[in-house]
Structure 1
Amino acid sequence: MVLESLVQDRLGHAAFGTFTALFNWTLIVASVSDLGTTQLTTKRVAATPEFLTEYFPTLLPLKGWLSVLFLLVMVGSGWLLGYHGHTLTLLTLTGASLLVTQYTQFLRGTLQAHQRFNTDAMLSVLEKALLLVLVLALIPVGITLDRYVGARAVAVLFTFVVLYGLVTRLYGRVRYKLRWDHASSLLRASLPLALITLVYGLNERVDMLMLERLASPSEAGYYAAAYRWVDVLMMYLWTVLPLFFAKFAYATGKPKEQQELLWFGQRVVTVPLLFMCAFVLFRGEVLFWQFTHSTAAELEQMTRSLKILFVNVLVHAFFAIYSTLLTSTNHEKPVSWLVAGSIGLNVLLNVFLLPRYGAVAAALNTLLCVVFVSGGYLWLVSRRTGVIIPWGTIGRLLLAFGLLCGVFWGLQQLLNHWLLEAIGAGLAFIAILFGTGIVRVAELKALRR
């Protein structure tokens, strides 16, 4: 997060916007190249350890050939999108690095399946730490786009070599033997996972690519700077929601139990994000403190995009848990179709609005699509699950958010200092949560027992 902001500030918004577009296109294509084999392998090895011995001689060369194939697809499709010359070379190097990263994640799946989580965590940190060292080393001589892409490639390749040596040492050297019967059965089993990954990958990544192609690299850079903070905050959702996924799945066929979980989860998921969304709506500009080389107009464009995107986060805070309920109770197909519909809507809006309004239009289009998808979640839950939507709780949460925004506005007029405003609003928010009945003293006492 901090590293990318530093790099963007030194490279400039246009150069970083170009890199962001290239990187997101490689992510979209790479999401297909894996074909779901990483998730399938982790699941199978955890359940049946002998799967590793039987299928790895086929899996390792299969993934290697798939990586080469999709690298060619990536470069060819990039050429069709209009990337030529040196930019196409950067796309090739970025794509190759990402595919090596994907192969690394595949090998790390064996460590996870054998419960070697500490080793896996150390390897995860290794690549990031090495990239940080390389970027810091580049500061005295100057960070350029070529050097940054090269540094990423070096960090990825070094991590892969270390991991491959470690896996060989732990489990022995695997002799490659591509068996087509094993390969076909693996691909048939993993394809549904690949399709889901592709749908969600497109939904998250297509905006930056279209911005760079239809508007300008600078607009893509502004949007990337804003969206980076969205990624950070959304990590809370991706940490908490899997816990409810498991609980909803365990309660399949028990609507009353699922309803209790939903009513509890609505508050757990939403409350922490309300404060951050309100802070960004009133003081979002302070999050761009690293951009010392940006003009006032550029900072204003990034801040405007950020605020619109955080309304998008606010919608997710209220309704993402309904997607979790649906996907955990065998309603993956309608959810996937709903997300696919939002992708189509997003692309259509982008085509018409991005050339004229740039990053702000991308943020607004994302918000409109999230509202569309969230409405679909509510409709599916009410029609297919038998779970009652907690409208009363949602109303109280909206009231609490409105009161919090009122406090932020008042403190901004009175103090005009973002840190003091945040502290004062945080204390007031605690009182608001109790006053609106979102948090009850009796519940806190029950948790202490």
Structure 2
Amino acid sequence: MSVEPPADRPNPEQQLESGADAARTLLRNSTYFLASDSIIKLLSFIFTVYVVRQLGDERFGLYSTALAYAGIFSIIGDLGMTQLAVREIARGRRKPDELFWNLVLIRLLLSTVATVVITSSAWYVAGYSAEMVLGIFLVCFSFFLHAFLGPVNIILQGKERLDQTAILSAVIQVFFVTAGTLVLLNGFSFYGLIIASYVGVPVAAVLGARYIRRLKLANLHFNIDFSLWLPLLRKSLPFAIITFTLVAATDLDTVLLSLWRSPEEVGWYKAAYNLIFRLMFIKTALLSTLGPQLSRYYGVSIERVASSFHSGFKLLWSFSFPIAVGGTLLAQPIITLLYTDAYANSVPVFAILIWALPLLYLSSLFGQLTTATDRETKAVRVYMTSAILNLVSNIIAIPIWGYVGAAASTILTEVVSLALFYWVVHDEFPLTDLKNTLFKPLVAGLVMGGVILLISDWPLLPVVAVGAGVYGGVLLLLRPFNASETALLQGGWMSLRRKLGWSSSQ
């Protein structure tokens, strides 16, 4: 069925592209995220492992604490304007040139406020040492650089040029890996590593601005309209609350661990957590493309929104569930291989936290759906409830069970968050065809887990290869994907092969 769009939409009957064109856009953007910087992703992963090994558990704990404390309050430097502006541009409500310099100036002012608030609270409220406060201040300095890069990415995302944002991310990672390696080789403190993380941001901002002009997405002529500021800030507040609760759910446990336990425990916890975070790229590749598409579809074709949502759910679940099963069963050899026995205490944390992967994948999809369908107010309630639960459960669990309690608290919070999100959208977008969407990937994953248990005494890499082969084979036999999803996967695989240079066919 078709629905009438809300009255405030200026273009109520946008002409949607065909399903084939939509799929091509999804393929182009998603495969760029997966392939254009595939080598960079691999280098970044290796570099992350190198950082953990080189710093050791105590210094890595201090480094992680500085990032986490500044990260929790970093929303002050944006106040949710990123999500709002992407949606407004995608729907054609605002022109990029109308927003760009206003967003830059607002974010520069907010970054100043954020830096003062964060560093002052770290010293006077949290009671961190001068060494830690300086590290937190250095993290805050990156807010000023992202005040320029952020609006550039907003335009590219709103215009669905995620292929270009992937390139910019790759540029930043190249600079970080290069500068960070020099920092570690020369024995500098974790301060140098913090600075290295954002030395590539100005370069990416300049390149992004050139892309925007070359693609004729905007002129970027200097233009300030103060009358836009208050409406932007007012409408962005729900997104600010959402972002704050999301970041708090990620970093609050680290901050509480740093206040109540040793830096070593923080290091063990974050070493495991960072491995899982590195597996979020599939979610980012798919959802960064789906978000703007869903925003355009809503109010024009509910069927298109529902179809995209169901396909996204199935793909994310099918990818993440077997990783969670395998990660739990193989936690010990994975941690030992990557971090050596020095991080043996990270094993139980990894075995628990790996289940955050499917939960975060799916809750992020629901979050995109609520944003695209103007349900951000209801989403705020979900995020606020989850944030309160996360805070309370961490306060209870960390003093008793330490970093293992923090991991369990994270999983509990994500389970509740996912359930609440489904309750918010199920009236209009209920999950259908549960046999194919949920149960067939579940069966394939359990069969894979049984095989892994049988060969668990093998070396890690052969076990992973056999497990992946078993899962893929069982999934092919069960055939959970419909014709359009199969075509999308096949097209994505071929596109990925071309971008990786595995196929000479163009």
| TM-score bracket for the superposition, by shorter chain length | 0.7 to 0.9
Aligned to 2:7: none
Give, in angstroms, the shift of residue 327 of structure 1: 4.5
Q: Which amino acid aligns with 1:15?
A: R
Instruction: Tell me, yes or no, if structure 1 residue 424 matches structure 2 residue 469.
Output: no
Is contact 1:273-1:314 (8 Å) kept?
yes
Give, in angstroms, the shift of residue 282 of structure 1: 2.0
Aligned to 1:92: 137
SS in 1 for 2:128: coil
| 2-structure distance, mates of 1:48, 1:312 | 36
TM-score after normalising by structure 1: 0.82
Q: Work out which of the residue numbers 241, 247, 251 in structure 2 matches 1:205.
A: 251
Give, in angstroms, the shift of residue 41 of structure 1: 4.8
Q: Which amino acid aligns with 1:233?
A: L
Aligned to 1:14: 58
Instruction: Classify 1:324/1:116 alpha carbon distance in 2 versus 1 (closer, same or farther; 3 Å).
Output: closer
Moved more, 257-266 or 365-374: 257-266
Q: Work out which of the residue numbers 452, 466, 472 in structure 2 matches 1:408.
A: 452
Aligned to 1:192: 238
Instruction: Classify 1:249/1:181 alpha carbon distance in 2 versus 1 (closer, same or farther; 3 Å).
Output: closer
Aligned to 2:499: none
Give, in angstroms, the shift of residue 98 of structure 1: 3.6
Q: How does 1:98-137 map to 2 (within 5 A)?
A: 98-109=143-154, 122-137=167-182
Aligned to 1:181: 227
Is contact 2:297-2:304 (8 Å) kept?
no
Instruction: Classify 1:339/1:411 alpha carbon distance in 2 versus 1 (closer, same or farther; 3 Å).
Output: same
Instruction: Tell me, yes or no, if structure 1 residue 63 matches structure 2 residue 111.
Output: no
Is contact 2:100-2:151 (8 Å) kept?
no
Is contact 1:135-1:151 (8 Å) kept?
yes
Q: How does 1:129-278 map to 2 (within 5 A)?
A: 129-152=174-197, 154-156=199-201, 174=222, 180-242=226-288, 246=293, 250=297, 264-278=311-325
TM-score after normalising by structure 2: 0.74
Q: Which amino acid aligns with 2:430?
A: V
Measured against aligned partners, the alpha-carbon deviations of 1:373-395 in whole angstroms (never above 9, x if no partner) come to 2222343344x226354443423
SS in 2 for 1:12: helix
| 1-structure distance, mates of 2:431, 2:195 | 53
Aligned to 2:14: none
Aligned to 1:354: 398
Measured against aligned partners, the alpha-carbon deviations of 1:173-218 in whole angstroms (never above 9, x if no partner) come to 748x6x6434323323433332322222222221211121122222
Instruction: Classify 1:446/1:144 alpha carbon distance in 2 versus 1 (closer, same or farther; 3 Å).
Output: closer
Aligned to 1:291: 339
| 2-structure distance, mates of 1:263, 1:112 | 22
Measured against aligned partners, the alpha-carbon deviations of 1:403-442 in whole angstroms (never above 9, x if no partner) come to 22111111225xx222222222223223322444535899
Give, in angstroms, the shift of residue 317 of structure 1: 5.4
Give, in angstroms, the shift of residue 236 of structure 1: 1.4
Q: Which amino acid aligns with 1:271?
A: S
Q: How does 1:38-77 map to 2 (within 5 A)?
A: 38-41=82-85, 47=92, 52=97, 58-77=102-121
Aligned to 1:385: 428
SS in 2 for 1:402: helix
Aligned to 2:327: 280
Instruction: Classify 1:388/1:15 alpha carbon distance in 2 versus 1 (closer, same or farther; 3 Å).
Output: closer
SS in 1 for 2:330: helix
Is contact 2:363-2:417 (8 Å) kept?
no
Instruction: Classify 1:353/1:267 alpha carbon distance in 2 versus 1 (closer, same or farther; 3 Å).
Output: same
Instruction: Classify 1:154/1:272 alpha carbon distance in 2 versus 1 (closer, same or farther; 3 Å).
Output: closer
Give, in angstroms, the shift of residue 347 of structure 1: 0.8
SS in 2 for 1:82: coil
Instruction: Classify 1:129/1:51 alpha carbon distance in 2 versus 1 (closer, same or farther; 3 Å).
Output: closer
SS in 2 for 1:412: coil
Q: Which amino acid aligns with 2:324?
A: C
Q: Work out which of the residue numbers 320, 344, 366 in structure 1 matches 2:388.
A: 344
Structure 1 unmatched ranges of 5 or more: none
Aligned to 2:475: 433
Measured against aligned partners, the alpha-carbon deviations of 1:205-259 in whole angstroms (never above 9, x if no partner) come to 2121112112222212112111112222222123224555535973669777766
Q: Which amino acid aligns with 2:278?
A: V
Q: Which amino acid aligns with 1:431?
A: G
| 1-structure distance, mates of 2:185, 2:77 | 38
Structure 2 unmatched ranges of 5 or more: 1-44, 492-506
Is contact 2:108-2:144 (8 Å) kept?
no
Aligned to 1:82: 127
Moved more, 360-369 or 83-92: 83-92
SS in 1 for 2:355: helix
Moved more, 258-267 or 425-434: 258-267
| 1-structure distance, mates of 2:488, 2:85 | 41
Q: Which amino acid aligns with 2:192?
A: R
Give, in angstroms, the shift of residue 33 of structure 1: 1.8
In the comparison of the two structures, how many residue pairs are matched?
439
| 2-structure distance, mates of 1:445, 1:2 | 33
| 2-structure distance, mates of 1:219, 1:123 | 34
Q: Which amino acid aligns with 1:224?
A: K
